[in-house]
Structure 1
Amino acid sequence: MSKIVSNKNNLQVLYEDNHIIVVNKRAGDIVQGDKTGDKPLSEVVKDYIAYKYNKPGNVYLGVVHRLDRPTTGIVIFSKTSKALPRLNKLFVDKEAKKTYWAVVKNKPLKNSDTLIHWLKKNPKNNKSTPYSKEIKDSKKAILHYKTLKSLNNYHLLEINLETGRHHQIRTQLSSIGSPIKGDLKYGFNRSNPDASIHLHARHISFIHPVKKEPLNITAPLPKDVIWDACLD
């Protein structure tokens, strides 16, 4: 079971050992630095490690994968140069099984389905467009979803990815008429008050790259009325 720890930076640590640290990202946090100049989550984690272990000088931290800024949930970092390439290989080889939860306004026509599209990213507006067949510079995107629960006005979906494309879940769900709550970029009609979207990296399972033991980590949901109703 994951042990949850919070510190002065309001960092929620889900798992930590000598090689890996897994945190529950909040909406609005960026995983790595970008043109905004905002302090990224990677630097917050470095500060946490330096403070917790009284480490002088630079702290090593490797970024294994990313989540979109308005998205919440599991992010894995490597604490050692030994673990980083092994973790990267796990993701490249699709040996890390990631499960997402999304709240959508319109229930998909099918309770469960596999969605296949070709996504093309437009760097000018940082948006991906789905196509039903391959076009130039597009990348194949595959996900599997199932409906877990229906609320009064929203529906909770569980998503498992086969590929990891730019804005993949957001793009593909929008393409079937089920945009994610709060996601103005992909067709939802209004934003969430905190600029989040209701997409959460809920669970991940993989074999520890150094200890060779199975890890199963679940990230608690953000606190709000809709997410709370998903657990009732």
Structure 2
Amino acid sequence: MMSAHLQSGEIEILFEDNHLLGISKPVNVPTQEDASGDPDLLNLLKQDLKERYNKPGNVYLGLVHRLDRPVGGAMIFAKTSKAASRLSETVRGRHFRKIYAAVVHGKLPARKGTLKHTLLKDSRTNTVTAVPKGTAGGKDAVLDYQVIGETDRYSLVYIELHTGRSHQIRVQMKEAGCPLFGDQKYGAKLNKPGQQIALWSVIAAFPHPVTKEDVVLQSLPAREFPWAEWPSHIYEEAFAESRL
């Protein structure tokens, strides 16, 4: 687990200008303040901006999208309310590309494909299940995947989300018969307590809210198990052709 004394300076900055701040989120840090009371990313980054630019008073930083606490990788924040509003429109219009890397148990039925499910969230238990289409409260979930590496036990997969449902990748991979490595909630039979979930935001890409130029944030997980089961060039080649 990330220590409680995490400092903003320990967070890698991937992109920054007057409108945006792109970072690589550390694992096990909540995106925003929650019931745990642990240091959260949003407040750490606000404090960093305040100190680096010697800003008096409160610092504005807009949360545009979220990553679950155990997930790390590329994230973008807005430094102005205008940028936040325009980026939120980009997300709603599905012009914000989100590509993840995941290590899953077993082998998927095809090297490349699309998964479509209807997902229903139970807010009381914070769990999500796949349900028949047409179920009250169910929401469509769609992702594309591409297998970029395999071992006897695991597959390394790049995943592009087309919808942003809670726990979407974790549930859809489970439904495909390949739960994520380390996922205690949706793969408890295959994973051991204490293992870190192997899910990482490797690419966040979108048009800049002001200049309209393409912004592409890239981040890779640390070279440790299970990510280190594949050489670095596998990830780099996937970056180059990515985009599934």
Q: 1:74 to 1:208 in 2, by over 3 A?
A: same
Deviation of 1:12 after TM superposition, in Å, equals: 1.0
2:71 aligned residue: 71
Tell me the TM-score normalised to structure 2 length. Answer: 0.88
SS at match of 1:21: strand
Q: Find the aligned partners of 2:193 and 2:66 in 1 and give their Cα distance.
A: 21
Deviation of 1:8 after TM superposition, in Å, equals: 5.7
Deviation of 1:192 after TM superposition, in Å, equals: 6.5
SS at match of 2:230: helix
Structure 1: 5+ residue runs without aligned partners?
1-6
Structure 2 contact 75–204 (Cα < 8 Å) conserved:
no
Structure 2 contact 112–147 (Cα < 8 Å) conserved:
yes
Structure 1 contact 102–198 (Cα < 8 Å) conserved:
yes
Q: Find the aligned partners of 2:130 and 2:15 in 1 and give their Cα distance.
A: 35
Deviation of 1:229 after TM superposition, in Å, equals: 2.7
**TM-superposition CA deviations, 1:114-142 (whole Å, max 9, x none):** 11111000111101001242201110001
Structure 1 contact 181–192 (Cα < 8 Å) conserved:
no
CA RMSD of aligned residues (A): 1.5
Q: Find the aligned partners of 1:217 and 1:75 in 2 and give their Cα distance.
A: 8
Structure 2 contact 8–44 (Cα < 8 Å) conserved:
no
SS at match of 2:226: helix
Q: Find the aligned partners of 1:140 and 1:122 in 2 and give their Cα distance.
A: 15
Structure 2 contact 120–129 (Cα < 8 Å) conserved:
yes
SS at match of 1:184: coil
Pairing 1:197–2:179 present? no
Q: 1:33 to 1:8 in 2, by over 3 A?
A: closer
Structure 2 contact 64–76 (Cα < 8 Å) conserved:
yes
Deviation of 1:228 after TM superposition, in Å, equals: 2.4
Pairing 1:35–2:35 present? yes
**TM-superposition CA deviations, 1:186-209 (whole Å, max 9, x none):** 01422474x531000101221101
1:95 aligned residue: 95
Q: Find the aligned partners of 1:216 and 1:109 in 2 and give their Cα distance.
A: 30
Structure 2 contact 108–176 (Cα < 8 Å) conserved:
yes
Deviation of 1:156 after TM superposition, in Å, equals: 0.3
1:11 aligned residue: 11
Structure 1 contact 30–41 (Cα < 8 Å) conserved:
yes
SS at match of 1:82: helix
2:178 aligned residue: 178
Pairing 1:56–2:22 present? no
SS at match of 1:51: helix
Q: Find the aligned partners of 1:140 and 1:67 in 2 and give their Cα distance.
A: 19
Q: 1:97 to 1:177 in 2, by over 3 A?
A: same
Q: Find the aligned partners of 2:160 and 2:191 in 1 and give their Cα distance.
A: 26
Structure 1 contact 134–140 (Cα < 8 Å) conserved:
no
For 1:22, the aligned partner's letter is: G
1:230 aligned residue: 230
1:4 aligned residue: none
Deviation of 1:220 after TM superposition, in Å, equals: 2.2
Tell me the TM-score normalised to structure 1 length. Answer: 0.92
Structure 2: 5+ residue runs without aligned partners?
1-6, 233-244
Pairing 1:146–2:143 present? no
**TM-superposition CA deviations, 1:80-131 (whole Å, max 9, x none):** 1110100101100010111111000111122121111110001111010012
For 1:54, the aligned partner's letter is: N
Q: Find the aligned partners of 2:180 and 2:82 in 1 and give their Cα distance.
A: 37
1:3 aligned residue: none
